Amino acid sequence: MHLRKWRKRVNGKTEEYWALVESYRTARGPRQRIVAYLGDVTEPVREGVARAARGQRHHQPSLLEAEPPAWVEVDTRRLRVERVRDFGGPWLGRQLIEMVGLEGWLRETLPAGREEIPWAAMAQVLVLGRLCDPSSELALA
């Protein structure tokens, strides 16, 4: 059993109500039925009903009480995504480099010196760059 919130529109105003819902299986698949309508209840009452539905009798307070999440309404029509990064191509390239054994060969062939970033790592970055975004030899980025 679990709690389900449902909204009802009354005179242009949206009101929220709560119901105790039970899930069960039928021959046509899982179904849910409302066991009890709770109406508009406060947070402590909802938590108590949810604990009772799970079979817990007593409330065990935690050391740090979790605050309920702050809900924010978002206008999805005005939402946009910026500076998207691809992940699959570089990851697949890294897997291929490891599978072929290029990483070990680069470490043996290009020994580390006093630089902060080893030449073998830089060579891998250049290989991945060419693999993920092939361009002409004159292109820098």
3-state secondary structure string across 50-68: HHHHHCCCCCCCCCCCCCC
Write down the pTM of the prediction: 0.40
Q: Evaluate if residue 47 carries a pLDDT over 80.
A: no
pLDDT of residue 119: 93
Flag whether pLDDT at 3 surpasses 90: no
| Angstrom distance (rounded) from CA 73 to CA 131 | 41
CA distances from 79 to 9, 70, 92, 137 (A): 27, 19, 30, 37
Q: How far apart, in whole angstroms, are the C-alpha atoms of residue 132 and residue 141?
A: 12
According to the model, what pLDDT value does residue 103 have? 93
**Tens digit of each residue's pLDDT (9 = 90 or more) over 99-136:** 999 999 999 999 888 899 999 999 999 999 888 888 86
- Please check the confidence at residue 45 and state whether its pLDDT lies above 80: no
pLDDT band at 140 (very low <50, low <70, confident <90, very high): low
CA proximity to 18, closest of 44, 48, 36, 38 = 38
Query: Which carries the bigger pLDDT value, residue 116 or residue 47?
Result: 116
The encoded tokens of residue 91 equal: 């990851």
pLDDT above 70 covers a percentage of the chain that reads: 90
Average pLDDT over all residues of the chain: 83
Instruction: For residue 33, count other CB atoms closer than 10 A to its CB.
Output: 9
| DSSP string computed for 35-46 | EEEEES--HHHH
